[in-house]
Structure 1
Amino acid sequence: MTLRLKLTLLAASLACATAAHAGVIKESKDSIFKPTGKGWGELDLDSMSHPEKAATLKARRTSNLTYQGGPVMVAPTNNVYYIWYGSNWDTGNGPASKSVLTTLAQSIGGSPYFNINTTYYNGSNTHVSNSVKLAGSITNSGTLGTQLTDANIQTIVTNAISSGALPLDSNAVYFVMTDSATTATSGFCTQYCGWHTNTTVSGQNIKYAFVGNPETQCPSACGANTPSPNNTPGADAMASIFAHELEEAVTDPDGNAWYSLQSGMENGDKCAWTFGTTSLASNGAKYNVTLGGLKYLIQQNWTLLPSQACTMQYP
Structure 2
Amino acid sequence: MKRFLSVAGLLLVASSAPAERITELNGRHVQLYPTKNHGAGIGHNKNVNVSYHNGPVIHQAKAVAIFWGPATTWGTSTAPSPLAQAIAGFFAQFGATPQYNVITQYYDLGGSVQRGLATTYWIDNSTPPQNVTDATIQGEVVRAIGSVGLDANTVYEVFLPPTSYASYGSATSCGGPNLQFCAYHSDFAYSGADVKYSSMPYPSCGGCQWSGWTAAQNFEHFATHETREAVTDPDGNAWYDRQGYEAAISTSGRTWTAAASRAAE
Q: If the TM-score is normalised by the length of the shorter chain, which range does it land in?
A: 0.7 to 0.9
- What residue is the counterpart of 2:106 in the other structure? 120
Is residue 74–residue 83 contact of structure 2 (8 Å, CA) maintained in 1? no
- Pick the aligned partner of 2:118 from 126, 133, 153: 133
Equivalent runs, 1:43-192 vs 2, <5 Å: 63-75=48-60, 78-87=61-70, 88-90=72-74, 95-124=81-110, 126-134=111-119, 136-161=120-145, 164-186=146-168, 187-189=172-174, 190-192=179-181
Unaligned runs of 5+ in 1: 22-33, 41-61, 276-296, 309-315
Q: Name the Cα RMSD after superposition.
A: 3.0
Deviations 1:282-308 (A, max 9, x none): xxxxxxxxxxxxxxx53647x572379
Q: Distance in 1 between matches of 2:29 and 2:139?
A: 22
> Sequence identity, in percent?
28
Is structure 2 residue 184 aligned with structure 1 residue 211? Answer: no
How far the C-alpha of 1:179 sits from its partner, in A, is 1.6
- What residue is the counterpart of 1:267 in the other structure? 247
Whichever structure has more strand as a proportion of its residues is 2
- What residue is the counterpart of 2:42 in the other structure? none
> Following TM superposition, where does structure 1 have runs of at least 4 consecutive aligned residues deviating by more than 3 angstroms?
297-301
Q: Distance in 1 between matches of 2:102 and 2:29?
A: 20
What's the TM-score, normalizing by structure 1?
0.63
How far the C-alpha of 1:150 sits from its partner, in A, is 0.8
Is residue 222–residue 237 contact of structure 1 (8 Å, CA) maintained in 2? yes
Q: 1:210 to 1:68 in 2, by over 3 A?
A: same
Aligned residues: 222
Q: Distance in 2 between matches of 1:245 and 1:252?
A: 10
In structure 2, give the amino acid aligned to 1:193. C
Q: Distance in 2 between matches of 1:90 and 1:192?
A: 23
- What residue is the counterpart of 2:232 in the other structure? 251
Q: Distance in 2 between matches of 1:179 and 1:221?
A: 17
- What residue is the counterpart of 1:306 in the other structure? 261
In structure 2, give the amino acid aligned to 1:38. L
Q: Distance in 1 between matches of 2:148 and 2:157?
A: 12
Identify the structure with bigger relative contact order (alpha carbons < 8 Å, sequence gap 6+): 2
SS of the residue aligned with 1:145? coil
Q: 1:224 to 1:63 in 2, by over 3 A?
A: closer
Is residue 244–residue 299 contact of structure 1 (8 Å, CA) maintained in 2? no
Q: Distance in 2 between matches of 1:67 and 1:100?
A: 34
Q: Distance in 2 between matches of 1:140 and 1:225?
A: 30
- What residue is the counterpart of 1:242 in the other structure? 223
- Pick the aligned partner of 1:193 from 176, 182, 185: 182
Q: Distance in 2 between matches of 1:210 and 1:170?
A: 17
Q: Distance in 2 between matches of 1:235 and 1:150?
A: 23
Unaligned runs of 5+ in 2: 1-14, 35-46
- What residue is the counterpart of 1:223 in the other structure? 209
